């Protein structure tokens, strides 16, 4: 549709505002952006905006950069954190809101093009235990997994049941948390992952020590199994995000940050909140952990949303990454119309080519994901 502000063509219907106006006329664009996200959240048990309650009984949550201030009995922006009276905790204390399934390796993971688990000989490959976490601290209008918002009757799994399920699976090469995004449920995911990697339990030795590893549960290359991987927006509590990355480093896994936009107003437009902390956390992990082993522990992706995430946006992200280390892998992902942005096209081939060139001008390891969709894309 045409932009409500300037009349240009190419605005998503849900936003009603184009990229130039988001960047150059934010005072006019931001009210339209706010309205779009309130509308997108309306059908779900989610607060319309980041809670900033002034109630005397309100409690603060520090699990992510939103830092919600939640009234008694209410939930945070993610929908899975609640004011329990004396503190903020999980909507269902003691349980993970999650589902799991097995993905044969090589999987469709965004890091599969360089991950040792996917590049190993076919006869050595096992499965990835994909862990879909409900809830998200973002509100992406293009969300590819909007079912994470269905929180009225979410699937509940106890910590013990989840860990036991993974431990009992001799084919489990890696565990990958995604969603939604892991940030709102990082505490339970971290506890579960730490227990999976503990070597004191005899069941761990008998399960993960088989099939090429030693009796202590290693994969034959010094990495504890399973690999722990994360696909996150990166805006979590820095302490918890670093703990997650350290588990990935220890186990041979990978942390993937979805750097959705560099321009903060564009982040507000596409995802409802600022993503500045994602860049801060990415820098922290790059400086503290990248390069401490042969295989990369950190990577980034950006979804090429038509009309919004252009080559200028990609170049700024790539330049930021290169300033930390030009060897950090970076993947550009082809957009598929979904959720509230079904009126947009698949990423045009010309946009993908321009963005790929922009990223390669700064980084040595750049990949274009979902390339098969370009067969259906406009020029």
Express each pLDDT in 9-30 by its tens digit. Answer: 999 999 999 999 999 999 999 9
pLDDT tens sequence across 309-367: 999 999 999 999 999 999 999 999 999 999 999 999 999 999 999 999 999 999 999 99
Cα end-to-end distance, the chain, whole Å: 19
pLDDT tens sequence across 184-241: 999 999 999 999 998 434 444 433 333 333 333 444 444 457 999 999 999 999 999 9
- CA Rg value for the chain: 21
Q: Rounded to whole angstroms, how far apart are CA atoms 50 and 190?
A: 25
Q: Rounded to whole angstroms, how far apart are CA atoms 123 and 275?
A: 41
Residue 126 pLDDT: 86
Q: Which long-range contacts (CB under 8 A, 24 or more apart) does 241-247 make?
A: 241/183, 241/186, 241/281, 241/284, 241/285, 242/281, 242/284, 242/285, 242/288, 243/190, 244/182, 244/186, 244/189, 244/190, 244/193, 245/285, 245/289, 245/297, 245/298, 246/289, 247/190, 247/193, 247/194, 247/197
Name the DSSP letter for residue 310: -
Residue 13 pLDDT: 97
Residue 125 pLDDT: 72
More confidently predicted of 154 and 59 = 59
Residue 117 pLDDT: 74
More confidently predicted of 255 and 201 = 255
Cα 25 vs. chain centroid, distance in angstroms?
A: 29
String of DSSP letters for 47-82: -SS--B---TT-EE--SBTT--EE-TT-B-TTSSEE
Residue 118 pLDDT: 75
The residues spanned by each domain of the chain are 1-43, 47-90, 95-376
Can you list the alpha helix ranges (DSSP code H) found in the chain? Answer: 19-24, 26-41, 116-119, 159-167, 186-197, 202-208, 238-251, 264-271, 276-288, 311-324, 349-360
Cβ contact 188:96 at 8 Å: yes
Residue 323 pLDDT: 98
| Torsion sign over Cα 96, 102, 108, 110 | positive
Average pLDDT over residues 275-300: 96
| Torsion sign over Cα 343, 134, 309, 357 | negative
Q: Rounded to whole angstroms, how far apart are CA atoms 5 and 191?
A: 48
Q: From the CB of residue 98, how many other CB atoms can be counted at a distance below 10 Å?
A: 24
Q: How confident is the model at residue 284 (pLDDT cuts 50, 70, 90)?
A: very high
Rounded (10°) angle between helices 264-271 and 26-41? 30
Cβ contact 260:272 at 8 Å: no
Q: Rounded to whole angstroms, how far apart are CA atoms 244 and 254?
A: 10
Q: How confident is the model at residue 123 (pLDDT cuts 50, 70, 90)?
A: low
Q: Rounded to whole angstroms, how far apart are CA atoms 166 and 172?
A: 7
Dihedral of the CA atoms 318, 337, 273, 350 (nearest 10)? Answer: 30
Rounded (10°) angle between helices 159-167 and 186-197? 40
Enumerate residues 6+ apart whose C-beta is below 8 A from 248. 227, 228, 229, 230, 254, 255, 297
Residue 304 pLDDT: 98
In CATH terms, 95-376 corresponds, of 3.30.360.10, 3.40.50.1000, 3.20.20.70, 3.40.50.880, to 3.20.20.70
Average pLDDT over residues 46-64: 97
Average pLDDT over residues 117-135: 83
* Mean per-residue pLDDT over the chain, rounded: 91
- Residue 375, both tokens: 């067969």
Enumerate residues 6+ apart whose C-beta is below 8 A from 157. 95, 96, 98, 99, 100
pTM, to two decimals:
0.92
Q: How confident is the model at residue 107 (pLDDT cuts 50, 70, 90)?
A: confident
Strand partners, 174: 128, 227
Q: How confident is the model at residue 108 (pLDDT cuts 50, 70, 90)?
A: confident
Q: Rounded to whole angstroms, how far apart are CA atoms 17 and 334?
A: 22
């Amino acid at each position: 549709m045409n932009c409500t502000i300037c009349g240009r063509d190419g605005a998503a219907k849900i936003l009603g505002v184009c990229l130039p106006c988001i960047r150059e006329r934010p005072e006019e664009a931001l009210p339209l952006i706010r309205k779009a996200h309130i509308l997108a959240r309306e059908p779900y048990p989610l607060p319309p905006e980041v809670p900033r309650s002034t109630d005397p009984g309100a409690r603060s949550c520090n699990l992510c950069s939103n830092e919600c201030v939640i009234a008694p009995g209410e939930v945070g922006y993610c929908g899975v954190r609640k004011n329990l009276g004396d503190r903020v905790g999980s909507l269902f204390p003691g349980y993970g809101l999650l589902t799991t399934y097995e993905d044969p390796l090589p999987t469709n993971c965004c890091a599969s093009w360089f991950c040792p688990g996917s590049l190993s000989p076919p006869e050595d490959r096992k499965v990835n235990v994909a862990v879909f976490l409900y809830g998200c601290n973002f509100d992406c209008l293009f969300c590819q997994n909007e079912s994470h918002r269905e929180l009225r009757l979410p699937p509940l799994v106890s910590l013990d049941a989840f860990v036991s399920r993974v431990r009992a699976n001799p084919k489990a090469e890696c565990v990958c948390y995604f969603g939604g995004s892991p940030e709102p449920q990082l505490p339970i995911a971290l506890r579960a992952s730490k227990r999976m990697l503990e070597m004191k339990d005899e069941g761990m030795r008998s399960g993960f020590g088989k099939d090429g590893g030693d009796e202590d549960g290693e994969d034959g290359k010094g990495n504890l199994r399973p690999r722990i991987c994360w696909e996150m927006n990166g805006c979590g509590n820095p302490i918890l995000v670093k703990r997650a990355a350290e588990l990935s480093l220890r186990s041979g896994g990978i942390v993937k940050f979805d750097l959705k936009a560099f321009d903060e107003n564009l982040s507000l437009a596409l995802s409802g909140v600022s993503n500045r902390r994602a860049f801060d956390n990415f820098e922290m992990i790059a400086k503290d952990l990248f390069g401490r082993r042969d295989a990369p522990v950190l990577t980034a992706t950006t979804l090429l949303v038509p009309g919004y995430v252009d080559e200028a946006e990609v170049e700024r992200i790539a330049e930021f990454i290169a300033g930390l280390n030009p060897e950090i892998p970076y993947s550009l992902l082809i957009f598929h119309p979904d959720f509230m942005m079904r009126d947009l096209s698949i990423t045009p081939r010309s946009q993908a080519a321009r963005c790929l060139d922009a990223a390669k001008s700064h980084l040595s390891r750049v990949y274009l994901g979902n390339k098969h969709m370009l067969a259906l894309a406009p020029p």
